[in-house]
Amino acid sequence: MRNPWDTTRETGGSSSGSGALVATGEVGLALGGDQGGSVRIPAALCGIVGLKPTYGLVPYTGAFPIERTIDHLGPMTRTVADAAVLLTVLAGPDGHDPASPRR
């Protein structure tokens, strides 16, 4: 995946397509999987916001696990305010993910 702002550069990470699409406005937000920077690196390289939440804050139900102890789903947005709103929607127990806090 090429960086939308400089096609001689990459977008980095497994969520790079999501980062590029959010950066160009093709999509308003995205959900990425972060184990070692796959949300944060594309966000940094594309000039958007990417957040790796605290383990268990966002349920991993329905996502393909790579390694349950390091898997995190996180928001990718154009603004911090949008990331906060999306995180509020995503966070919390769902009754299926054993890593989610019991509130």
Which tens digits make up the pLDDT trace of 62-98? Answer: 787 777 778 889 999 999 999 999 999 999 888 887 7
**Is pLDDT at 44 greater than 70 in this prediction?**
yes
Percent of the chain surpassing pLDDT 70: 97
The residue with greater pLDDT, 19 or 68, is: 19
- Average pLDDT of every residue of the chain: 90
Over residues 7-27, the mean pLDDT reads 93
Query: Long-range CB contacts (< 8 A, 24+ apart) of 89-95?
Result: 90/31, 90/53, 90/58, 90/59, 91/53, 91/57, 91/58, 92/57, 92/59, 93/59, 94/59, 94/61
> What average pLDDT does the segment 51-65 reach?
85
Q: Is it the case that residue 100 has pLDDT exceeding 80?
A: no
pLDDT at 103: 58
pTM beyond 0.85: the answer is yes
Separation CA 80–CA 82 (nearest Å):
5
